[in-house]
Amino acid sequence: MSTTTTETRKKEAPAGERVADWADGRLGIYSLAKANMRKIFPDHWSFMLGEICLYSFIIIILTGVYLTLFFHPSMNEVEYHGSYIPLQGQLMSEAFNSTMHISFDVRGGLLIRQIHHWAALIFLAAMFVHMMRVFFTGAFRKPREVNWVFGFLLFVLGMFTGFTGYSLPDDLLSGTGVRFMQGAILSVPIVGTYLSMFLFGGEFPGGDFVARFYSVHILLLPGIMLGLVVAHLILVFYHKHTQFAGPGKTNNNVVGMPLLPVYMAKAGGFFFLVFGVIAAVSAIATINPIWALGPYRPDQVSTGAQPDWYMGFSEGLIRVMPGWEINLWGHTLVLGVFVPLIIFPLVLVAIAVYPFIESWVTGDKREHHILDRPRNVPTRTGFGVAWITWYMVLLIGGGNDLWATHFHLSINSITWFVRIAFFVAPVLAFIITKRICLGLQRRDKDKVLHGRESGIIKRLPHGEFIEVHEPLNQEQLHTLTAHEQYAPLEIGPAVDENGVERKVSGSQKLRAKLSKGYYGEDNQIPKPTTEEYKEITSGHGHH
Amino acid sequence: MSSQENPEENLPSVQEKTEHGSVAVADENPFADPGLPPHEHRVQDIDERAAKRSERAVAFLFTLSMLATIGFIASYVAFPVDKSVYIFPIGHISALNFSLGMTLGVALFCIGAGAVHWARTLMSDVEVADERHPIEAEPEVKAKVMADFKAGAAESQFGRRKLIRNTMFGALAMVPLSGVVLLRDLGPLPEDKLRHTLWSKGKLLVNMNTNEPLRPSDIAVGSLTFAKPEGLEEHDHDFQKEIAKAALMIVRIQPDDIKDKQELEWSHEGVVAYSKICTHVGCPISLYEQQTHHVLCPCHQSTFDLSDGARVIFGPAGHALPQLRIAVNEEGYLEALGDFAEPVGPAFWERG
């Protein structure tokens, strides 16, 4: 009897299907696949930025696991007897020694180390750019605020995973960075020295921090990040991807191509493209040549010491801050270091909380799946550019010595430039960006109402020259006018209809003021109406 | 403050919804959504020869990837790990690293390029629309959940039995304390560890490079000498920790040029000894300007004037470098007359 059942089953389904049946009976994969296998993803180049983040993260994990097979997270001092001649006989920690071993004696070890480090730099850069894409197109609006926060946490955790990672080889450069961190921790009022002693197992540098950073770098932070990445992706699937306005694209649909096969191939292929490029970069561009830096000694340093780029803005904060110290009642308040330590997270939080501020100002509770063109939200775009400017000014401050030596500038004037620009540059960037956005809005309005410049000059019978404007087709007209425009919030009259004074809270006033700043008369160009369009197109034709 | 107070009329009017695919009448609203544009065929969709070319291109890329992987394995076997090779314009680089990286890069890139080319030219590129559904639950679902929660909460008697509730909160709040207590042995208490260094009365100043005790005559005008306390050797277990505090830099300044009175008193015939550890965040200071006697920390550019009590003249450091009081012993060697008078390195709360 059993043979007959097997035979009929064999006739019924091929092997692959039977495996799938088996799995479905236990995991419910068919329901999962029904919802996702042909899931539609919209196409736009900027949607790839997030993919670069994901893929570089995977590459970091793969190469990182390989590196743990050879790396010794120990600060025991050993004498170097590896194959790199210039460091022969030098005293160094086992961490440095094993990193030398990976770089010079393990075949392919150097390549994997360099892929790991390059992928980390690209990971952070891609997260930064991806975050800006999400910011400038308003993709963070309801229902995606939580995913924005997940992404932000990934960026911040990525910074610290990077920092703890590049500190592991215990080389002269990274040791200097760790010393910087320890000096910053010491500045914390009341508990600074305790934090430092607990973190380093005693006085700096001690013999513990490499082992401690190691478990933070390979287990604690990546573990949290992996969880956040999975949550981030689940939410992307659950919310369905945003899309730009265009013909056939509404807030209630998502237009694109299915996961199987197009995005399986495109996204899967893109992983290999990213990995391939990083491998090639690692073949030709040296990164973190610890053999040239040498092992860490607290009494030695090289010039031009720079952290990895994503830590550069904190470096800028600490370099340009005046060295204020307040000594009172036998205690020291090290403002010169503590203030940058406080501003450091605030710079990051400033961009993280923005979505919540905007949704408070608009009071908009609806879901948004159509992306904004940055020009159509001048205040947000201005704020974003101001933030990037702020960040970049601090990056310049972090590399003030390199700017000075490469461009033959005075380091004092660069420092003063950064001190002033820290306050002024974001404001200027905001104003300029907003003006540009409004100009682009006017241009769009012009295009809608008067058509596109065709480049054809026509001479009229009476001698006048005109340029022929070609009207846009309906698809273009729709795309340019699909965005929504808010009306500014009004507080209303100060007294109600009975002449009694109305109570308006301070936060309501602030909100009305902000709303006016966002959507007031001079802060957005009213989009063309059908009446305007009809009047111009039917009445006098082009002019 | 609540957004409920926000009048609805401030929100933009909801776009008139056109059904997907339907064509709005242009007369009525020229800006209306005309619906998805018709699919435009690619050359591969209509010309089988073009499609064949794409197929061959994809297969070529995948084959190239296979060859590159073979090249990777061959490089791994063929090149010794220490062989260097000249590659224009990079220069001399490790042959193994270069060949492994390039072959791996090509092997991976070609898989990606093949897959993307396949997707772009041969797989269907017809755009389709999927409906979205609100993330928010329907009111009935919400009502059911709330009712379930109320029932569950009531059955637990959580709200009614306050004694249970409060003691449970207390227990849950307290239990993590054990974890915090366990962290105590991460390190010792600071006590006065940051106030003391290895320097003490009578300790000789030993040249960091030669490991020989220094005489005043060893310190030439314009030179910068690094020193450590006698008895501290590189092989010592706590060398790193001690040198992080005790590292010293010595310069010679014409006594007439020393502006600070105490500095002059604490020096010996113009030889002055200062802590090498920057008072900003603790980098070792290593750049010395002979003419002005300024020293500069290369990390954050704090600049100190060694001829004027090492006061800060530029940069983010908050206070002067501590000076070590020195003299010459009977044998003519430089010696310390005690420890630093104040803590070296970055400032901290208890520094005072």
**Residue A11 distance to chain B (closest CA, Å):** 31
In chain B, residues with a C-beta closer than 8 Å to the C-beta of A325 are 318-319, 347
Pick the last residue of a domain from A271, A303, A335.
A303
Closest CA to B300 of A199, A183, A348, A392: A183
Alpha helices in chain B (DSSP H): 43-46, 48-78, 95-121, 139-156, 162-174, 176-182, 239-246, 261-266
As a whole number, the mean pLDDT across chain B is 89
pTM: 0.92
Q: Which pLDDT score, from 0 to 100, does residue B3 have?
A: 40
> Does A482 sit within 8 Å of B115, measured CB to CB?
no
**Residue B30 distance to chain A (closest CA, Å):** 6
Whether the pLDDT of residue A542 is over 60: the answer is no
Q: Are residues A144 and A211 both part of a single domain?
A: yes
Q: Which pLDDT score, from 0 to 100, does residue A223 have?
A: 97
Name the token pair of A398: 């972090």
Closest CA to B274 of B352, B197, B190: B197
Of residues B278 and A531, the one with the higher pLDDT is B278
> Does B130 sit within 8 Å of A199, measured CB to CB?
no
Q: Answer whether A511's CB lies under 8 Å from A356's CB.
A: no
Q: Which residues pair with B88 in a beta bridge?
A: none
Average pLDDT over residues A221-239: 96
Q: Are residues A33 and A76 both part of a single domain?
A: no
In chain A, residues with a C-beta closer than 8 Å to the C-beta of B77 are none
**Residue A446 distance to chain B (closest CA, Å):** 14
- What's the DSSP call for residue B256? G
> Does B193 sit within 8 Å of A269, measured CB to CB?
no
- What's the DSSP call for residue B268? B
- Among the partner-chain residues B24, B37, B187, the one whose CB lies closest to the CB of A197 is B187
Cα–Cα–Cα angle for B142, B147, B152, nearest 5°?
A: 125
Whether the pLDDT of residue B23 is over 70: the answer is no
Q: Are residues A25 and A55 both part of a single domain?
A: no
Who's near B85: CB < 8 A, 6+ residues apart? Answer: B92, B93, B94, B95, B98
Chain B residue at shortest CA distance from A184: B281
Does residue A316 fall inside a structural domain? no
Residue A163 sits in a domain of what CATH number? 1.20.810.10
- Judged by average pLDDT, the poorest of A98-102, A149-153, A293-297, B27-31 is B27-31
Q: Which residues pair with A254 in a beta bridge?
A: B130
> Does A255 sit within 8 Å of B129, measured CB to CB?
yes
In chain A, residues with a C-beta closer than 8 Å to the C-beta of B186 are 198-199, 201
- Among the partner-chain residues A91, A321, A477, the one whose CB lies closest to the CB of B234 is A91
Whether the pLDDT of residue A155 is over 60: the answer is yes
Top-confidence range, A223-237, A356-370, A471-485, B35-49: A223-237
DSSP-based three-state secondary structure for B144: helix
Whether the pLDDT of residue A543 is over 70: the answer is no
Whether the pLDDT of residue A213 is over 70: the answer is yes
Does residue A336 fall inside a structural domain? no
Does residue A405 fall inside a structural domain? no
Q: Are residues A122 and A170 both part of a single domain?
A: yes
Q: Are residues A33 and A94 both part of a single domain?
A: no
User: How many Å apart are CA A132 and CA A380, to the nearest integer?
Assistant: 12
Cα–Cα–Cα angle for B326, B227, B244, nearest 5°?
A: 105
> Does B96 sit within 8 Å of A325, measured CB to CB?
no
**Residue A528 distance to chain B (closest CA, Å):** 10
As a whole number, the mean pLDDT across chain A is 91
Chains A, B: CB contacts within 8 A come to 400
Average pLDDT over residues B302-329: 92
- Among the partner-chain residues B34, B107, B318, the one whose CB lies closest to the CB of A336 is B318
Does residue A515 fall inside a structural domain? yes
A419 burial via Cβ count (<10 Å: 0-12, 13-18, 19+): middle
Who's near A291: CB < 8 A, 6+ residues apart? Answer: A84, A86, A87, A100, A103, A104
Q: What domain range is A22 assigned to?
A: 1-38
pLDDT band at B8 (very low <50, low <70, confident <90, very high): low
In chain A, residues with a C-beta closer than 8 Å to the C-beta of B96 are 107-108, 110
Average pLDDT over residues A220-245: 96
What are the pLDDT digits (tens) for A456-468? 999 999 999 988 8
Count of the separate structural domains present in chain A: 3
Does residue A162 fall inside a structural domain? yes
Average pLDDT over residues B238-249: 92
> Does B17 sit within 8 Å of A250, measured CB to CB?
yes
What are the pLDDT digits (tens) for A270-318? 999 999 999 999 999 999 999 999 999 998 888 878 899 999 999 999 9
Q: Which residues pair with B206 in a beta bridge?
A: B213, B228
Who's near B346: CB < 8 A, 6+ residues apart? Answer: A182, A183, A186, A187, A334, A337, B278, B279, B280, B281, B282
What are the pLDDT digits (tens) for B100-135? 999 999 999 999 999 999 999 999 999 999 999 999
Of residues B261 and A502, the one with the higher pLDDT is B261
Q: Answer whether B194's CB lies under 8 Å from A203's CB.
A: yes
User: How many Å apart are CA A116 and CA B101, to the nearest integer?
Assistant: 12
**Residue B149 distance to chain A (closest CA, Å):** 24
pLDDT band at B26 (very low <50, low <70, confident <90, very high): very low
Whether the pLDDT of residue A499 is over 90: the answer is no
Q: Are residues A113 and A241 both part of a single domain?
A: yes
Q: Which pLDDT score, from 0 to 100, does residue A536 have?
A: 83
Question: What are the φ and ψ backbone dihedral angles of B207, each rounded to 5 degrees?
Answer: -60, 130
Q: Which pLDDT score, from 0 to 100, does residue A7 have?
A: 56
pLDDT band at A195 (very low <50, low <70, confident <90, very high): very high
**C-alpha R_g of chain B:** 38
What are the pLDDT digits (tens) for A370-422? 999 999 999 999 999 999 999 999 999 998 888 988 999 988 889 999 999 99
Q: Which pLDDT score, from 0 to 100, does residue A467 have?
A: 87
Start-to-end C-alpha separation, chain B: 46
Whether the pLDDT of residue A2 is over 50: the answer is no
User: How many Å apart are CA A405 and CA A247, to the nearest integer?
Assistant: 53
- Judged by average pLDDT, the poorest of A104-108, A234-238, A504-508 is A504-508
pLDDT band at A10 (very low <50, low <70, confident <90, very high): low
In chain A, residues with a C-beta closer than 8 Å to the C-beta of B298 are 301-305, 401
Does residue A324 fall inside a structural domain? no
- Residue identified by tokens 């960006």 is A433
- Among the partner-chain residues B101, B284, B349, the one whose CB lies closest to the CB of A189 is B349
Whether the pLDDT of residue B1 is over 70: the answer is no
Q: Are residues A274 and A142 both part of a single domain?
A: yes
Whether the pLDDT of residue B16 is over 50: the answer is no
Does residue A399 fall inside a structural domain? no
What are the pLDDT digits (tens) for A505-525? 888 888 988 998 888 888 888
- Residue identified by tokens 């478990």 is A215
Q: Are residues A282 and A134 both part of a single domain?
A: yes
Instruction: Quote the ipTM score.
Output: 0.90
Q: Are residues A56 and A31 both part of a single domain?
A: no
A537 burial via Cβ count (<10 Å: 0-12, 13-18, 19+): middle
Q: Are residues A15 and A116 both part of a single domain?
A: no
Chain A residue at shortest CA distance from B94: A283
What are the pLDDT digits (tens) for B324-349? 999 999 999 999 999 999 999 999 99
Q: Answer whether B326's CB lies under 8 Å from B263's CB.
A: no
Q: Are residues A292 and A181 both part of a single domain?
A: yes
Q: Which pLDDT score, from 0 to 100, does residue A97 have?
A: 96
Give the DSSP per-residue string, A21-79. HHHHHHH-HHHHHHHHTT-EE---GGGHHHHHHHHHHHHHHHHHHHHHTT------EEE
User: How many Å apart are CA A390 and CA A397, to the nearest integer?
Assistant: 11
> Does B241 sit within 8 Å of A202, measured CB to CB?
yes
**Residue B261 distance to chain A (closest CA, Å):** 23
Q: Which pLDDT score, from 0 to 100, does residue A509 have?
A: 87
User: How many Å apart are CA A243 and CA A479, to the nearest integer?
Assistant: 12
Q: Are residues A5 and A146 both part of a single domain?
A: no
Start-to-end C-alpha separation, chain A: 88
Average pLDDT over residues A252-279: 95
- Among the partner-chain residues B134, B190, B243, the one whose CB lies closest to the CB of A299 is B243
Does residue A358 fall inside a structural domain? no
- Residue identified by tokens 């305790």 is A194
Closest CA to A161 of A243, A270, A53, A60: A60
DSSP-based three-state secondary structure for B69: helix
Whether the pLDDT of residue A51 is over 60: the answer is yes
Q: Which pLDDT score, from 0 to 100, does residue A8 have?
A: 55
Q: Which residues pair with B294 in a beta bridge?
A: B289, B305
Pairs from A498-505 (Cβ < 8 Å, separation ≥ 24): A505/B1
Q: Answer whether A309's CB lies under 8 Å from A177's CB.
A: no
- Among the partner-chain residues B12, B36, B346, the one whose CB lies closest to the CB of A485 is B12
